[in-house]
Amino acid sequence: ARQLDARALHALNRLKASTPATFDSMFIQTQLAQHEEFLHTLTTELLPAVTHFELRNELAEMQRTLRLHLDQARTLQSNPVL
């Protein structure tokens, strides 16, 4: 958890230091990295360890939502709106 906090704080500081011209690009890059990291943790650590049916279903739904968000962020990254 502390590593996640440290990385989130680092990302926030990078965004605060960015210029208006680079903010959008940096924001999308940050969102991609954070979503990919959490999706990896969810898929490789959390889901395999959960045995409670309802919790497993909730995590599986979260996994689907994260994948959708990643797809949307990748689309934005490759086709930025002017």
d(C-alpha 51, C-alpha 40), whole Å = 19
Of 6-20, 35-49, 61-75, where does mean pLDDT reach its minimum?
Answer: 6-20
61 vs 24, residue with greater confidence: 61
Reported pTM: 0.77
Q: Which of 50, 29, 30, 53 is nearest to 41 (CA)?
A: 50
pLDDT (mean) for 45-70: 95
pLDDT (mean) for 54-63: 96
